[in-house]
Structure 1
Amino acid sequence: MTTRRSFLKSSALLSAGMLAAPNLMAAYKHKYIGLQLYTVRDAMQKDPLGTLARLAKLGYNSVEGATYTGDQKFYGMEPKAFAKVLKQNGQIMPSSHYRLGKEQINGESQKGTIMRDWDKAVDDADAVGVKYMVCAYLSPNERGNMDDYKVIADQLNKAGERCKQSGIQLCYHNHDFEFVAQGGQLPYDMLLATDKNLVKMELDLFWATKAGQDPIALFNKHPGRFPLWHVKDMDRTPPHMFTEVGNGTIDFKRIFKEANKAGLKYFFVEQDRTPGDPFISVTQSISYIKKNLI
């Protein structure tokens, strides 16, 4: 029989345990499991409605957009129509990817980028319920030297200010090239020198790890700056390529324990290339995440 004394004692022990390991508790508070839709890009191009419904049945109740640049629609749908489809599936799209826009595609400048028609991109994102607009990638001709990265940082600050006006947070998604030193400086540090309130980071755990970076060291140095993560594993072969979450070498349990320090709000599974049917891979990944990470 539980007495008042034993109840108080148990409560005190539980509270002490929570205080001793606050980051461990943080690892279990996230109710959304997301998928970056680039992982199933071919299926989304052929059948976006069926693909989203299939992902919802697997347990992906959150997705991150990968295609807006160009026709300024979300997978062929107007913002409100796309938002309706997500709602019908019990899904949200809190984040979506965008391009800087300096690079031309087939000789043409692209709309819906940071450098072109950004106002409309922000308005459309707001209509879908996007909370984070992410600069997804810098092409080789957009990167340049550290002076070029300084210009990009200024562009991100301005784009972030426009996002803020609509209650949206701008983020930057890394690959590995941002961690290649130029004149003793890392381009990623230049990007981190942006206004921390206007520009936050989506940390791709695969690319950061492949570049020799420790995600936790980044969290410690820049706490609260990483509200979004790409949860992507690295295989054990010499090229160190993509693999299903839990099937590789990245210690996600260790990283997820620092979710609170990072400022994590949403994470997204991403696997750029899969050995076969991507749905088999994303099923394997979500199974591991449910059993081990949340």
Structure 2
Amino acid sequence: MSDPTSPILSTPPAVQLYTVREQLAADRVGVLAALAGFGYGAVEPFDVLTDAPGLRDDLDAAGLAVCAVHAPVLSEDVDALFDGARTVGADTVIVPVAPPERFGDRDAVTALAAELNAVASRAADAGLRLGYHNHEFEFTDVDGTPALVVLADALAPEVVLEVDTYWAAVAGQDVPALLRRLGDRVRYLHVKDGPVTRTDPMTAVGAGRMPVAEVLTANPAVEWRVVELDDCATDVLAAVGDSLDWLRDNGFAHPAGGGSDR
């Protein structure tokens, strides 16, 4: 895994800013500087409406790129969200969630795919790519097939998936096999670890039960691997740094700027 031409090492390590949402609210400049100091080179913002110009300035000051943004374009102002995404420097907008009932049967999934395809067309007109991010309920059985796979088959070719590997595992999926099945559709991963339960806190990557190495090597089409902890029982910034240390030590990341500033 030390080959610098490996697809796994072709982009800098990234982190979803939702992980440090509470810390950002208190000290955005300091938290972004800390992430860069750990060796992260990119982030995935979850709010591009509140202060996109200020966030862009702070990201630039920290030397952090934007790999994508999460934006609820199915339920909020699409044009404003697209403007915010472009302002912070994103080229991809990822729908963070859709209601669970939209995965209840084939008709519901097909209708959701049609809506995503329509929004993807608007995104393309704005110079952006659209994606969808899963939780665990997207793996309900639809005629013998996980609903997320049914969705993928109904999406327009330009719509990508960000597979949340942890929630897929919570749903009982063999995650490496799922990633191989979804193939080129998957361009982003949420890389997480923990006890693989619905309610217990997550851990730093490498400290839980996820088969992280197998997940990271399952699909060469993946462009970005984004560390995220939804909840953490320990110091979350320390866990974010420990996650990157594990990825580096196991050959899955080249920290930006050379290393861990801790």
C-alpha contact (below 8 Å) 1:269/1:285 kept by paired residues: yes
Q: Which runs of 5+ in 1 are unaligned?
A: 1-20, 100-112
- Counterpart of 2:162 (choices 176, 187, 202) is 202
Q: How many Å separate the matches in 2 of 1:41 and 1:147? A: 36
- Counterpart of 2:18 (choices 38, 49, 54) is 38
Equivalent position of 1:169 in the other structure: 129
Distance change (3 Å), C-alpha of 1:241 and 1:181: farther
TM-score, normalised via structure 2 length: 0.85
C-alpha contact (below 8 Å) 2:45/2:70 kept by paired residues: yes
Equivalent position of 2:147 in the other structure: 187
**2:44 corresponds to which letter in structure 1?**
E
- Counterpart of 1:93 (choices 46, 56, 66) is 66
Distance change (3 Å), C-alpha of 1:55 and 1:24: closer
Q: How many Å separate the matches in 2 of 1:157 and 1:28? A: 28
Q: How many Å separate the matches in 2 of 1:239 and 1:41? A: 19
User: Do structure 1's residue 133 and structure 2's residue 93 form an aligned pair?
Assistant: yes
Q: Which runs of 5+ in 2 are unaligned?
A: 254-262
C-alpha contact (below 8 Å) 1:26/1:257 kept by paired residues: no
Identical-residue share of aligned pairs (%):
28
User: Do structure 1's residue 271 and structure 2's residue 229 form an aligned pair?
Assistant: yes
Equivalent position of 2:46 in the other structure: 66
- Greater relative CO, 1 or 2 (CA 8 Å, sep 6+): 2
User: Do structure 1's residue 290 and structure 2's residue 248 form an aligned pair?
Assistant: yes
Q: How many Å separate the matches in 2 of 1:203 and 1:215? A: 9
C-alpha contact (below 8 Å) 1:27/1:258 kept by paired residues: no
Q: Secondary structure at the match of 2:161?
A: strand
Distance change (3 Å), C-alpha of 1:241 and 1:196: farther
- Deviations for 1:195-251, whole angstroms, at most 9, x for unmatched residues? 342311001111112222223323332321111110001327897752210011222
Equivalent position of 1:82 in the other structure: 55
Q: CA deviation at 1:154?
A: 1.0
- Deviations for 1:91-126, whole angstroms, at most 9, x for unmatched residues? 011211122xxxxxxxxxxxxx32442122112211
C-alpha contact (below 8 Å) 1:219/1:225 kept by paired residues: no
Equivalent position of 2:258 in the other structure: none
TM-score, normalised via structure 1 length: 0.77
Q: Secondary structure at the match of 2:155?
A: coil
Distance change (3 Å), C-alpha of 1:194 and 1:237: closer
After TM superposition, the structure 1 stretch with the greater mean CA deviation from structure 2, 211-220 or 224-233, is 211-220
- Counterpart of 1:216 (choices 162, 176, 181) is 176
**2:239 corresponds to which letter in structure 1?**
S
Q: How does 1:155-166 map to 2 (within 5 A)?
A: 155-166=115-126
Q: How many Å separate the matches in 2 of 1:144 and 1:220? A: 24
Count of residue pairs the alignment pairs up: 251
Measured on the aligned residues, the alpha-carbon RMSD in Å equals: 2.5
